[in-house]
């Protein structure tokens, strides 16, 4: 594996989105006491609310995603406009480092600043920083991040998930029903789902080892992207020349 590949994988590991997992066959559900009368949608079983929200998000075709997350004391944030055709535009921030992301029909480019490369792995970043010189680098390591269907796809887990309805609330003036999803590993998140149609997932709050919030908006808005100019891209020969 080249230095370049190592750094991309390290960066990608910080970008996982804590979204609602698909309901497993063996999932269990229970309703918590609600502080106010629920709507008809909020009265549904919580696993059904989760599935409906995921289907609505994937059916939108495109959305804006913002996320602030702290894992083991390391803070990362992301803002991204993505669709279900491999187009995306946004940025990642990790401590003092920033990286831009650009996706066009499934081809993904990544442009970190020097601080981001050095935060990812200070021991091997020098060769990449010297070679890349602020240009865009093509990568497949972040491809899943720019595909709406994959970001909100079915969980690749055989463990049972437990769903619990927490009641209704408001997000940006709109009524939502809040559902907690907990896996066998104890990791959980609380999703806020619009009670009015379409029942979009608009907020996810991570709990436990990963703490933070994901906000979703701009459903269905087109992602306007185009490839970076050739002079601003690192070609494959340059990447192959990087040390292992």
pLDDT per residue rounded down to tens, the chain (244 residues): 444 444 554 444 444 444 444 333 334 444 444 444 445 999 999 999 988 998 999 999 999 999 887 766 777 888 999 999 999 999 988 888 898 999 999 999 989 888 888 877 777 778 778 878 889 988 877 777 888 888 887 654 546 778 999 999 999 999 999 999 887 777 788 999 999 999 999 999 887 766 788 899 999 999 999 999 999 998 766 666 666 6
Specify burial of residue 234 (Cβ count, 10 A radius: 0-12, 13-18, 19+): buried
Q: Is the pTM of this model over 0.75?
A: yes
- Strand 161-171 and strand 137-139: the pairing is unpaired
Query: Distance between alpha carbon 176 and the CA centroid of its chain, in Å?
Result: 21
Q: Name the residue ranges covered by the structural domains of the chain.
A: 3-222
User: 3-class SS at 113?
Assistant: coil
User: 3-class SS at 72?
Assistant: coil
Residues 21, 8, 134, 96, Cα dihedral to 10°:
60
Question: What pLDDT score was predicted for residue 21?
Answer: 40
Question: What pLDDT score was predicted for residue 30?
Answer: 46
Degrees, nearest 5: CA angle 55-58-64: 130
3-222 placed in CATH 2.50.20.20: yes
């Amino acid at each position: 594996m080249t230095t370049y590949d190592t750094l991309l994988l390290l960066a990608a590991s910080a970008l996982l989105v804590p979204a609602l997992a698909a309901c497993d066959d063996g999932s269990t559900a229970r309703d918590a006491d609600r502080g106010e009368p629920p709507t008809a949608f909020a009265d549904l079983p919580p696993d059904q609310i989760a599935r409906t929200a995921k289907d609505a998000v994937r059916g939108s075709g495109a959305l804006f995603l913002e996320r602030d997350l702290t894992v083991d004391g390391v803070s990362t944030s992301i803002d991204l406009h993505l669709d279900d055709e491999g187009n995306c535009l946004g940025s990642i921030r990790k401590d003092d480092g920033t990286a831009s992301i650009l996706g066009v029909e499934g081809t993904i480019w990544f442009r970190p600043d020097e601080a981001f490369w050095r935060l990812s792995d200070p021991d091997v970043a020098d060769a990449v920083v010297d070679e890349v010189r602020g240009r865009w680098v093509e990568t497949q390591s972040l491809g899943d991040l720019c595909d709406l269907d994959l970001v909100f796809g079915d969980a690749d887990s055989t463990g049972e998930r437990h769903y619990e309805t927490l009641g209704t609330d408001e997000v940006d003036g709109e009524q939502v029903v809040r559902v907690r999803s907990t896996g066998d590993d104890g990791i959980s998140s609380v999703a806020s789902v619009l009670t009015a149609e379409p029942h979009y997932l608009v907020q996810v709050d991570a709990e436990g080892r990963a703490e933070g919030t994901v906000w979703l908006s701009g459903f269905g808005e087109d992602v306007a992207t185009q490839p970076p100019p050739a002079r601003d891209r690192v070609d494959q020969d340059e990447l192959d020349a990087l040390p292992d």
